[in-house]
Amino acid sequence: MSAAPTWTIASVRDALASKKTSARELTKDFYAQIERRNPELNAFLALCPERAYAQADRVDAALGKGHPLPPLAGVPVAIKDVISTQGVRTTCGSKILETYTPPYDATAIERLEKTGAVILGKTNCDEFAMGSSNENSAYGPVRNPAALDRVPGGSSGGAAAVVAAGLAVVSLGTDTGGSIRQPGAYCGVPAMMPTYGRVSRYGLIAFASSLDRIGPFATNIADTATVLSIIAGRDPNDSTSAAVAVPDYLGEIEKPIAGLRIGVPEDYFGAGLDPEVKAKVLAGIALLEKLGCKRVPLKMPHTDYAIATYYIVATAEASSNLARYDGVRYGVRVPGSTLMDMYRKTRERGFGPEVKRRIMLGTYALSSGYYDAYYLRAQKVRSLIARDFADAFEKVDAILTPTAPTPAFKLGEKTADPLAMYLADIYTVTGSLAGVPGISVPCGKTAAGLPIGMQIFASHFAEGRILQLARAFEKAGGFSI
C-alpha cells in the first residue's frame, strides 16, 4: 500500500523559503522514492534527472540571490508520455515511437518550467492515449497504488498513479473521453479536464483533435487551480487555443458556493452503476446541498448515445491523425521491398491491438458508403449531446455525476472485451463531446478501500466555478465522505 503523499505546492514553497530543503535535495528525494516504488507501479517510462537537476539548481540559485520564487519553484512534476519534451524520449506508450526524442517542448511544458517546475520524467499511458485501464501500453500496465492488483484507469494511468503515490506533487495528463478524470477517480486524486481550447495543445501528440485536452492531476484543489492557471491561455502556436482571459483560479477558489444550482441528471444514475459508487456520490451531492447548493433534478436524454457517438468520432479522427506513422520521418521503420510494403509492415508491427482496432473502426466509419451512416450521423448526435449540456446550463450552474460506473477493476478483467472496456467511460465521454470542462474529485471509498470519484461539469470556461465547488467539497471533508 502507498504512503499518503505529503508534499503540496504550498509546502514545497514553504520548505524552500525557510531553507528546510533545497530544490536539488527535494528532487533527489523524489528520485529516491521513484527508484523504490516504480518497479512495482510501472508508472514512469522515462526519467530525466539531468534536466530536473539543472532546473532545481536554477531555482536554488535564484533563491540564494533572494529573488522572489515563481509559483511552481522546485515543484516536482510528471508528464504523461504523449506530451512532447525536448531531448526526453516520448513514446506515447507505443512501440512505433520507441526511439523518438522530440526536438521541441510542448507549450504546457514550457509554461511549467518557466514558473519553476522540476520535470522528473514521463509517465506510462495507454498507447496513443487509447484505453481505460493503462493495459494498452506497449511497456506494460501501471498498477493502482491503492490496490496493486487493480488498474489505475486510463489512459493517463501513470500520471494519476504517481501523484496518488507521492512520486510527483502534480502531473499533466490528457483527456479525450475520460482519460484524466477516470484514472483520477480510480486512484483517488483530483483530476481536471479543462474546457476545449483552454490549454494549448502545441506539442501534444494528437489522438482525436476535436476532443483532446491537457489537464492537471494534484492531491488538492489549490494545486489543481495553480497548475491550471499556469498552463491555460491563448498560444499563437495552437489555433484552437481560445483567446479567453485566464482568471486567478487559486485566488477565487474560496468564493462562496451557497445558492449555486447543482443539476443531478437521472440518466447518470441508472443501470450499470455500482451501488457503492452510487451511494457515495449521492452522499457527496447531499453534502453540497448542506453547504447551501440547490439540487435540481435533470434529464439529459442523449446520454445513452454518448459512447456510440464517441467511438465513431474519436476513431475517425484517430485513423487520420495516426496516418503519419509510416516509418519515414520518425520512430521505428520495418524495412519492406516497396514503399507500400514498408508502410504496412511498420504500422502492423509498430501499433498494438487496440490502436489497430480503432484505426480500422475509424477508417471503416469514414470509408465510401459508410460515411453518412456512421460518421455524419455521429456528428449530428454529438450536436444533440452538446445541446443537452447547453439546455442543462440554462437551469443549473454545475452538473454532478459519478465519474465512472465502478471503482478500479482488476488487471486483465476487461482486456478480452473491448466494448466492456469502452463502457468504463460512459459518464465522462459526454462532457468530452460537448467541449465543457469537468473535474473528478475523490468521494470516499468502497468497503474494500477502493477510491470513488465524483464528477463536476460546468459550462464552457467556467473552470473557476468547478474549482470553487470542488474546494468547498474538499474543505467540508467530502474527499473522505
Partner 1 sequence: MKISREDVLRVAQLAHLDLAPEEVETYRGQLDEILAYVGKLQEIDVSNVEPMTQMQPRSADGAATADAKAEPELRDDVVVPCNVADAVLAEAPDAAKPFFRVPKVIER
| Binding to partner 1 in span 277-336, by CB under 8 A | 302, 304-305, 307-309, 311-312, 319, 323, 326-333, 335-336
| Identity of the residue, 164 or 192, whose beta carbon is nearer to partner 1 in the bound complex | 192
Pick from 214, 218, 361, 441: which binds partner 1 (CB under 8 A)?
A: 361
| Cα separation values, 287 from 224, 427, 476, Å | 21, 21, 8
Pick from 33, 69, 345, 446: which binds partner 1 (CB under 8 A)?
A: 345
Residue 29 CA to residue 12 CA, distance in Å, equals 12
Q: Which of residues 148-207 bind partner 1 (CB under 8 A)?
A: 195-197
Pick from 387, 413, 415, 476: which binds partner 1 (CB under 8 A)?
A: 387
163 closest CA partner among 344, 28, 74, 34: 34
| Identity of the residue, 62 or 386, whose beta carbon is nearer to partner 1 in the bound complex | 386
For 285-312, b where at least 16 C-beta lie within 10 A, e where not — what string?
bebbeebebeebebebebbebbbebbbb
Q: Which residue shows C-alpha cell 507521492?
A: 166
Torsions phi, psi of 457, nearest 5? -105, 150
Our answer to whether residue 278 is catalytic in this structure is no
Our answer to whether residue 290 is catalytic in this structure is no
Using DSSP bridges, classify how beta strands 451-457 and 398-402 pair: parallel, antiparallel or unpaired.
antiparallel
As a three-state string, the secondary structure of 202-225 is CCECCCCCCCCEEEEECCCHHHHH
| Smallest distance, partner 1 to C-beta of residue 469, A | 19
In angstroms, how far is CA 84 from the centroid of its own chain? 15
Catalytic residue among 179, 241, 319, 440: 179
Q: Of how many residues is the chain composed?
A: 481
Q: Identify which range of 15-23, 36-44, 384-392, 468-476 contacts partner 1 by CB under 8 A.
A: 384-392
Q: Which of residues 81-140 bind partner 1 (CB under 8 A)?
A: 100-101, 103-104
* Residue ranges with strand state E in 266-309: 294-298
| Smallest distance, partner 1 to C-beta of residue 448, A | 30
Our answer to whether residue 80 is catalytic in this structure is yes
Q: Identify which range of 135-143, 268-276, 278-286, 390-398 contacts partner 1 by CB under 8 A.
A: 390-398
| Identity of the residue, 291 or 332, whose beta carbon is nearer to partner 1 in the bound complex | 332
| Smallest distance, partner 1 to C-beta of residue 346, A | 9
For the chain, what is the largest distance between any 2 Cα atoms, rounded to a whole number of angstroms? 70
| Identity of the residue, 14 or 304, whose beta carbon is nearer to partner 1 in the bound complex | 304
| Smallest distance, partner 1 to C-beta of residue 405, A | 16
Residue 300 CA to residue 266 CA, distance in Å, equals 8
| Identity of the residue, 312 or 411, whose beta carbon is nearer to partner 1 in the bound complex | 312
Pick from 286, 341, 410, 475: which binds partner 1 (CB under 8 A)?
A: 341
Q: Identify which range of 49-57, 235-243, 251-259, 400-408 contacts partner 1 by CB under 8 A.
A: 235-243
* Residue ranges with strand state E in 376-437: 398-402
Q: Which residue shows C-alpha cell 446520454?
A: 303
Helices 275-290 + 463-475 axis angle, to 10:
90
Q: Which of residues 415-444 bind partner 1 (CB under 8 A)?
A: 418-419, 422, 433, 435
Catalytic residue among 22, 80, 440, 459: 80
Distance from first CA to last CA of the chain, Å, rounded?
A: 21
Catalytic residue among 2, 155, 229, 432: 155
Q: Does 476 engage in binding with partner 1 (CB under 8 A)?
A: no
| Smallest distance, partner 1 to C-beta of residue 132, A | 14
Q: Does 391 engage in binding with partner 1 (CB under 8 A)?
A: yes
Active site residues: 80, 155, 179
